[in-house]
Amino acid sequence: MPKKEHPLSSKVEEELRLSFFREHGYHRKKCKICGDYFWTADPDRETCGEAPCDPYKFIGGVKGIPKLTLDEVREQFLRYLERRGHTRVPRRPVVARWREDLFLTDASIIAFQPYVTAGIVPPPANPLCISQVCIRLKDIDKVGLTFGRHLTIFEMMAHHAFNYPEKEVYWKEETVDIHHEFVTEVLHIPEEEVIYKEGIWEGGGNAGPDLECIAYGLEIATLVFMMYGVTDEGKYYKIPIKIVDTGYGLERFAWLAEGSPSAFPPIYRELVEKFARLTSTTIPPAHILEEYSRISSLMGKIEEGKPLRELREKAAESLGMSPTELDAMLTPLESLYTILDHTKCILFMLADGLIPSNAKEGYLGRLVIRRTLSKLWALPEPPHLSELIALQIGLWSKPFPELRREEDRILEIVEIEEEKFRNLLKKGSAIVKRLISSEPSITVEHLVELYDSHGIPPTLVSKIAKEHGMMVTIPDNFYELVAARHYKPKAPPVPEEVKYASIIQELKKYPPTRKVYYEKPYLSELETEVIAATPAGILLKETIFYPEGGGQPSDRGFIIVDGLKIPVKSVKLIGNWVLHEVESSKPLFSKMKVKCTVDWDRRISLMRQHTATHVLLGAAKEILGSHVWQAGSELGAEESRLDISHYKPLTTSDLENIELLANRIVTENRRVNARFESRTEAEEKYGFEIYQGGVVPGAELRIVEVEGFNIQACGGTHVSRTGEIGLIKVLRAEKIQENVIRLVYSAGLPAVKKVAEVYSSAAEAAKLVNRRIEEIPIAVRDLVSSVKLLRSENRKLRVKLCTTSIEAAHPSTIGGVKILVVEVEEPEARILIDSADSYLRTHRENVVIVLCSKAATDSGYPTVVMAADPLKERLPADVVVKELSRVAEGKGGGSKKLAQLVTPFPLSRQQILDVIAKVM
């Protein structure tokens, strides 16, 4: 099938016909196999050089190319770019906290989107170079199978230049020259082996021509010239900022330099042998791996639908063995490679603050963890996942020392996740069995839904289905299908300019509102004038009313006109304009003089609560760990909440320590500084932890710093010193979803009131038990002990009462079986069971006992059937209950010896005997 032509295809030749190629003697050719155009220094070349059009030519090593380690390649690249005028910038986290439309960092350019690429803020340097750790899960099922062409985690070395209309840094010619000089003069790849294949890159609303750089059959870099925007309708237009977006595959450069059959030995070095020993994996002989790698490079790409079986058969034929023999050698190795890759991926996810969960980036982290555990638990003697992660920390902590600092927390999270998955598998069997009993077959949709909703892996479903005579086909790309459901947020936020487009268009006629609530947060009265009365609200020249945002409700108060107090219901910020919703029949006109008064008691309480939120979050991070992230907040004048991410329940000690530290910060009366800083500078100085309350839009950020303790980007109002907060009291901690804990708290006077209320209640309780307040815990323990004793005695008496009723009952005989049907007033099924059991153990009779209650619970009237052991085959209790359920519209079940049911009305003695006669 011919390739579908891209709308920009006609522009590619013109855009990429560079002077560089002419000066270096390169020729433009069309590949006779794939049909792509490429540039080569070899005038006789007929193919593009990339596998499968050409084989890997680097396997076994290439003479003249130095064997460099990953660290050496990275450092040589960055130093080379520094010599070429680039500034080195540190990597960004793999969890993309600065993006609302993406969970994971999957390319180096992600670090500079959307604000730098849109021209809203300048880049941290221009030009710059970076080696960015990236995570991509879209090809997760191919990891290991392609010997290193696909990885979930990799480093994208890159150099970026941002060219503005008024200033060009460098563009296509220099970009290609930089790449060419690096690969030929630093890495010593001969020029005739360096091929540039033309292409078009598109993504994230941008597009442009690109050059894929190929050497010895392997694509090693991509040079993208981002110069077009893409509309929602698929139309292309030139953008003012031309961006050089390059990506150099660090692992691929190391693979090429090493010349090994797969990329995993140069990436993981000594870990390959260590993991092989721990997983009892035998690494096949080098000649087999080299031949398989060579043939697989020629056989087409698995990602393009090439069956793995076909590759195996071709390689087996070349090696003179059967496909089964080759499978037996390669399958464990491919699993080993997958485990190596996934454990590194898990390590970086957790180190950068990801908490495994059932939502957002946490879902993706858990998916990788559980896929790894499924691989491990398929082994006869699997090692613990935490043991493998610890080895990865040892390898990667030299270039990334932050990994060692987070080691204890990372390993604890891994151990918790391993235990959770083990428990899930035990419970999951019942869910799968129910599905098998209700469906004629298990489809791919069933498999995805079982994993998505319950976390049940497809291998478990297949195993259970096979036991029930049902075959299940697991798609090769199963985890890719699941990851695709969660790779990005389901509904990216609507940009403000779109949401309020018509209002903003109207507001542009007026000057922006001066925000006095920032300049003078303690000002409670202000005289100003009306700018306009719009359908969206009253626009003032300046305002002291804080608009709702960032979890803080808007101020309330009055706008006073000619002595008339007009209540302000709510305030909102749209663009640079503050709009006031008022309750008034009196019209307000432009240039009308007004006086604003804020409900000061409410405002100061909210200021205290908001600053308390920052202090409490800082305390939680200090006590629990740097992984703690604000998952939400809501401020109230009396009571507020802070939702934080954490991987296990909080202990009483945790809460006490958090509260203690927060109040220590209050008593130290630290300064609370609020200032505006450029987005780029703030991110460079403080990192992405400033986005605790969510991503803040705009070129400038308002930074709120609790001096020496906590720094966040925040648009709320705050007190000027922590001492003004007053007491911070954590009222309770609640689990609101997995690994998200809600702290409900009060600050200032409301906190004092809460403590007073609790003290008053404690004093009343102390009076009731005739103890001092500090002795209440002792009194409660005594009471609980007494209640337990009384309940135990009560239970014994109730069992004895029922047992006496059984002993007094007149037996019936049906089919030679003695039946005791007893009507009692006891409503608890557990008491009925214990009573029947007590009678059988005491009297040792061959009898079937039926206890039916005449007292109802919320569920209905309970009935218990218990058969003596010699009779459970002749008159099974579960069969009797099943028939009683049908007759009396009840629900129940059990075993041959014991079964129970609940009915909407009490069963009569005769009804029961009739059913037993029918069953007999």
Residue 126 CB-density burial (10 A; 0-12 exposed, 13-18 middle, 19+ buried): middle
Q: For the residues 212-233, what does the mean pLDDT come to? A: 92
DSSP string, 85-135: TPEE-PPPPSB-TT-SS-SB--SGGGGGTTTTTTTSS--SSSSEEEEEEEE
pLDDT for res 565: 93
pLDDT at residue 289 greater than cutoff 90: yes
| Distance from C-alpha of 345 to C-alpha of 384, rounded to nearest angstrom | 16
pLDDT at residue 1 greater than cutoff 50: no
pLDDT for res 698: 82
pLDDT for res 499: 67
Q: Which two tokens stand for residue 49?
A: 């050089």
Predicted model pTM = 0.84
pLDDT digits (tens, 9 = 90+) for 509-565: 999 999 999 999 999 999 999 999 988 899 999 999 999 987 899 999 999 998 899
Model confidence at 300, pLDDT cuts 50, 70, 90, reads: low
pLDDT at residue 493 greater than cutoff 70: no
pLDDT for res 479: 87
Model confidence at 274, pLDDT cuts 50, 70, 90, reads: very high
pLDDT for res 860: 92
Q: Where are the beta strands (DSSP E) in 463-508?
A: none
Q: For the residues 353-379, what does the mean pLDDT come to? A: 93
Q: For the residues 622-630, what does the mean pLDDT come to? A: 94
Model confidence at 645, pLDDT cuts 50, 70, 90, reads: very high
pLDDT at residue 204 greater than cutoff 80: no
Contact indicator for 393, 404 with CB cutoff of 8 Å: yes
* 495 three-class SS: coil
pLDDT for res 107: 92
- Dmax (CA) of the chain: 111
pLDDT digits (tens, 9 = 90+) for 173-182: 999 999 999 9
Closest alpha carbon to 303 in 146, 532, 127: 146
Model confidence at 229, pLDDT cuts 50, 70, 90, reads: confident
Q: For the residues 651-676, what does the mean pLDDT come to? A: 96
Report how far Cα 417 is from the mean position of its chain's Cα atoms.
Answer: 14
pLDDT, mean over the chain: 91
Q: List own/partner pairs for 904-909 with CB under 8 A and 24 or more apart.
A: 904/860, 904/861, 905/860, 905/861, 906/823, 906/852, 906/853, 906/854, 906/856, 906/861, 907/852, 907/861, 907/863, 909/821, 909/823, 909/852
pLDDT for res 920: 77
pLDDT at residue 491 greater than cutoff 60: no
Q: For the residues 712-735, what does the mean pLDDT come to? A: 95
Model confidence at 797, pLDDT cuts 50, 70, 90, reads: very high
Q: For the residues 244-264, what does the mean pLDDT come to? A: 96
pLDDT for res 352: 94
pLDDT at residue 307 greater than cutoff 70: no
pLDDT digits (tens, 9 = 90+) for 13-36: 999 999 999 999 999 999 999 999
Q: For the residues 104-111, what does the mean pLDDT come to? A: 91
Rg for the chain, CA atoms, rounded: 36
pLDDT digits (tens, 9 = 90+) for 412-463: 999 999 999 999 888 888 888 888 888 888 898 899 888 888 888 888 888 8
Amino acid letter, residue 584: S
DSSP string, 799-817: HHHHHHHHHHSPPEEETTE
Model confidence at 484, pLDDT cuts 50, 70, 90, reads: confident
pLDDT at residue 665 greater than cutoff 90: yes
pLDDT for res 919: 82
| Distance from C-alpha of 606 to C-alpha of 602, rounded to nearest angstrom | 6
Closest alpha carbon to 109 in 376, 615, 100, 118: 118
Contact indicator for 216, 197 with CB cutoff of 8 Å: no
Residues 6+ apart with CB under 8 A from 859: 902
Model confidence at 496, pLDDT cuts 50, 70, 90, reads: low
